[in-house]
Amino acid sequence: MELQKQTRFASFSNHSNNNVNSLRVASPTSNVASELADIDWDNLGFGLMPTDYMYTMKCSQGETFSKGELIRFGNIELSPSAGVLNYGQGLFEGLKAYRKHDGNILLFRPEENGQRLRLGAERMCMPAPTVDQFVEAVKATVLANERWIPPPGKGSLYIRPLLMGSGAVLGLAPSPEYTFLIYVSPVGNYFKEGLAPINLIVETEIHRATPGGTGGVKTIGNYAAVLQAQSAAKAKGYSDVLYLDSINKKYLEEVSSCNVFVVKGNVISTPAIKGTILPGITRKSILDVALSQGFQVEERHVAVEELLDADEVFCTGTAVVVSPVGSITYLGKRVSYGSEGVGRVSQQLYSALTSLQMGLTEDKMGWIVELK
């Protein structure tokens, strides 16, 4: 693909060791306009679309991350003995950038992702960028790929930061070297249904996480572990899987890649964060939005039986934002929610949060980082 000149950045230089063009961030606040990439913005799915640049920064074990750079998007080179390949020493994050009608670009709570990455890195014995380094790297990567940010209302630019053990290690031990990397891709809806009810099945045998494990951090292994159950569910026509706790097999945990909420009257309940559930940033934000709108919010053990007489159920995550649940099947019994499509509470919270993320309403929470 033809690359647009990124005049907001300083001069390019060739790296002799990897034959890719690199550039150093000069003035990411420049007002140089960029033309949009030539793609079908009306039919964006949730899949990888290669963009122009990615960000990379390396660090040795026992040291700190210091200097990162933007390089052309492309494949990376790893030792076959890299810690991430052999022992799964890796984490990832996910956040989005939105384009406003005035051309400005909005990020939603990026410092929360940076902090969560640091907590996960501690659990996985990895050094991590500081929160400030994380946020600045995200900003630089987004601005370098500005032409890939969808027009207002057409989607978002999904941002995927990775932290991995890239150094060679044979015996089981922390990797000697680490790579922090960010790439981006324009995306539409995560579920093909869009903001339409999804259908879930409760998994009773396969578990996503166990107490004392890594379910509470965003390690790469958490997601490979759900593929078998998720694939089987999708083959039967379900959208995704809802997992139960591995001890009692009766309390809700989360869906494959998003948190779950149960609505009954004016009460919104969600499983408490106790080490087996990912502390979602959208989850956290929805709790605050719901409180501000007068709902009673509870973080607690939520028994699977509570699904049977719930008024609404919905999921939250960076990719889905808010996804209403149309039905849940548990032990062969299907429970449906609402007869008119998206539930009132789901719609209300979805509208409130997305309006905030897209800059359509005033940010009274101080959650938005605006790039001009």
- Which sequence positions are flagged as catalytic? 218
Q: If you count them, how many residues does the chain have?
A: 372
> Backbone phi, then psi, for 59, in 5-degree steps?
-160, 140
The SS3 of residue 4 is coil
- Residue found by looking up tokens 């150093």 in the block: 24
In 3D space, the residue among 178, 213, 211 whose CA is nearest the CA of residue 82 turns out to be: 178
Distance of alpha carbon 254 from alpha carbon 272, whole angstroms: 10
Burial 343-355 (b: 16+ CB within 10 A, else e): bebbbbbbebbbe
- Residue found by looking up tokens 């502390």 in the block: 279
Q: Is 88 left (phi over 0), alpha (psi -120 to 50) or beta?
A: left
Distance of alpha carbon 124 from alpha carbon 35, whole angstroms: 41
189: exposed, middle or buried (C-beta count within 10 Å: 0-12, 13-18, 19+)?
middle
Distance of alpha carbon 98 from alpha carbon 328, whole angstroms: 32
> Backbone phi, then psi, for 20, in 5-degree steps?
-120, 155
The CA dihedral of 348, 349, 351, 356, to the nearest 10 degrees, is: 140
Neighbours of 279 (CB within 10 A): 16
Residue 220: CA count within 13 A, CB half-sphere:
16
Helices (H), the chain: 83-87, 110-123, 131-144, 221-224, 227-235, 281-292, 344-357
- Residue found by looking up tokens 């809802």 in the block: 242
The letter for the amino acid at 6 is Q
Distance of alpha carbon 185 from alpha carbon 221, whole angstroms: 22
Q: What angle do CA 3, 6, 10 make, to 5 degrees?
A: 135
